[in-house]
Amino acid sequence: MPQRALEVICRKLHEHDYKLTRQRQVILEALMEHTACHLSAEEIYSIVKQRYPDIGLATVYRTLELLAELDILQKMDFDDGRSRYELNDGAVHHHHHLICVKCGRVIEFADDLLETLEAMVSRKTGFQVLDHHLKFYGLCGACRTADEG
């Protein structure tokens, strides 16, 4: 994530008449320093609190909701009872997530490759696909070899 991305995001906020507060900046910085981490709101809160101790948890939630609305980040669910967040990289479609059912690790899989299926969905049902979330459950390489050994 290039440093310039922060400017781009700030401009996007501005375009939608949202103010650029220090809290929002700090939250964005924290997210940019922890890409591919799938942070929860509480985790983001504790990171941000080190740099800005007066921030409130509700502000973190409100900011995350706002950023998701502007497509700046993505709210995700890995079935662990809380939402997790990840900055978008600008691509139209996201990568997929591989969730290990044994150790709980979450691995990313870059290729999208759902165009064919999306086209078929649209043709068969009349549903216009705008986005998708695909999660694979299974055993990661480490747990697989641990099982065999």
Partner DNA sequence: CCGGAATTGCTGCCCTTTCACATTATAGGC
Partner DNA sequence: GCCTATAATGTGAAAGGGCAGCAATTCCGG
Token representation of residue 11: 């401009």
Between 56 and 104, name the residue whose CB sits nearer to DNA: 56
User: Quick one: what does residue 20 bind among DNA, its own copies, none, with the CB cut-off 5 to 8 Å set by partner type?
Assistant: DNA
Question: What would the x/- binding string for DNA be over residues 8 to 27, using CB under 7 A?
Answer: ------x--xxxxxxxx---
> Residue 52 and residue 58: Cα distance in Å, rounded?
14
**Helix 57-69 and helix 41-51: axis angle, to 10°?**
120
Residues between 120 and 149 with contacts to its own copies, criterion CB under 8 A: 120-121, 124-141, 144
Please report, for residues 60, 78, 126, 141, the alpha-carbon distance to residue 41 in angstroms, rounded to integers and kept in the order given.
7, 14, 36, 29
> Residue 63 and residue 116: Cα distance in Å, rounded?
35
38 binds DNA (CB under 7 A): no
Instruction: Using CB under 8 A, list all residues that contact its own copies.
Output: 77, 79, 96, 98, 100-101, 107, 109, 111, 113-114, 116-118, 120-121, 124-141, 144
